[in-house]
Copies of this chain bind each other. A is one copy, B any other.
């Protein structure tokens, strides 16, 4: 592993901002986008269970419809790409069985040898399910993906705009998710900032480090 210099990481994270206006003519090159899709796939998740699907909405008619479900935010159509982050609801044994089968396949093991691992996962999922906490917990994993995606994009010089101010039920309807077991949590347009997006040069506001990082 060849680490990047500290300054390059901080430059990218400081360069990143919630892009309000994308340049509709600037498209993310295919190779770069392929890398970002791979970074989504590589996101860590609880037990590695990957309780998600990432929708890359390319059809312009769909993206146009999503604007109205996003309080009119036009980044949804103007950005080069749009990812919708969805949760696999009520994570069940069928999903974990698929995960175990995939694990066996990748690692050259038998599914039976993974049974103790499966039992631990199901015990944890079922415990959360009984408390009504399962989807709350699994939803958090999707935000690990959002965090990794935005950081990855910034490091590749790609702008993003995290969007929670959307109407998930309308997204689900427009994207055909209703009744599928998946539901929209948030969206993230990606592309390149317009030259005249004034927010690009607005100073980033963070509380001083001493107020949010405490040493004990």
Residues of chain A whose beta carbon lies under 8 Å from any beta carbon of chain B: 1-4, 6, 8-16, 18, 31-32, 35, 37-44, 46, 48, 50, 52-59, 62, 98-99, 102-103, 106-107, 124, 136-137, 139-152, 154-157, 162, 164-165, 175-176, 185, 202-207, 209, 212-216
Q: Are A213 and B56 in contact (CB-based, < 8 A)?
A: yes
Q: Are B145 and A205 in contact (CB-based, < 8 A)?
A: no
Nearest B residue to A88 by beta-carbon distance? B212
Nearest B residue to A34 by beta-carbon distance? B6
Q: What's the minimum C-beta distance from A169 to chain B, rounded to whole angstroms? A: 14
Q: Are B10 and A35 in contact (CB-based, < 8 A)?
A: yes
Residue in A18, A52, A214, A216 with the greatest tally of chain B CB atoms within 10 Å? A216
A sample of 26 cross-chain residue pairs with beta-carbon separation below 8 angstroms, ordered by A number, consists of A1-B154, A3-B12, A3-B156, A9-B152, A13-B38, A13-B148, A14-B42, A38-B209, A42-B204, A44-B147, A46-B164, A50-B206, A50-B212, A53-B214, A58-B216, A62-B216, A106-B204, A106-B205, A140-B142, A140-B143, A143-B144, A144-B150, A144-B162, A147-B147, A147-B151, A176-B216
Bound-state Cα–Cα, A215 to B16, Å = 25
Q: Which residues of B contact A102 (CB under 8 A)?
A: 205-207
Partner of A9 from the list B62, B140, B156, B205 (CB cut-off 8 Å) is B156
Copies in the complex: 2
Partner of A16 from the list B44, B106, B212 (CB cut-off 8 Å) is B44
Q: Which residues of B contact A58 (CB under 8 A)?
A: 215-216
Q: What's the minimum C-beta distance from A147 to chain B, rounded to whole angstroms? A: 2
Q: What's the minimum C-beta distance from A56 to chain B, rounded to whole angstroms? A: 5
Nearest B residue to A164 by beta-carbon distance? B46
